[in-house]
Amino acid sequence: MVEFDLSMSQYAYFMVVLLMAIGLYAMLTKRNLFKKLVGMVTFQTAIYIFFIQGAVRLKSSVPIIDEEIGMSAAQYVNPLPHLLILTAIVVGISTLGVAAAFLIVIHRRFKTLDDQAIMGLMKEPD
């Protein structure tokens, strides 16, 4: 049987899962399109925090080789997850920018951001 480590040292991951669940819930159930976007950002932020938490290494140094600390990789923080998240933030921002632009146009055309109302308006002939 699989054993899960439920100690307090893992509490950050519970927060990640909580944030992710909130984000997914908002994205899939909220009727207001803007709230869906807020959920989207929450979901993405949860993923960023997951990667950053995975890179945490207590009592270690910045990833620049220092003669006093030595050559052992265990003495330094892993810089790769931070780099991945920097890239992922750029991806997230561009997606959010496109989505926000869509919201402006949709609101101009349909005069509402309510998902159900827009669905009804879309069914009407031009």
Residues 6+ apart with CB under 8 A from 14: none
**Residues 74, 87, 116, 125: which binds other proteins (CB under 8 A)?**
87
CA 75 to chain centroid, in Å, comes to 29
2-61 residues near other proteins, rule: CB under 8 A: 2, 24, 27, 33, 36-37, 40, 43-44, 47, 50-51, 54
Distances from the Cα of 74 to the Cαs of 51, 54, 59, 68, in angstroms? 18, 14, 10, 14
Q: Report the residue number, 35 or 61, with the smaller CB distance to other proteins.
A: 35
3-state secondary structure of 114: strand
Q: Report the residue number, 66 or 109, with the smaller CB distance to other proteins.
A: 109
Binding site for other proteins (CB under 8 A): 2, 24, 27, 33, 36-37, 40, 43-44, 47, 50-51, 54, 80-81, 84, 87-88, 91, 94-95, 98-99, 102-103, 105-106, 109-110, 118, 122
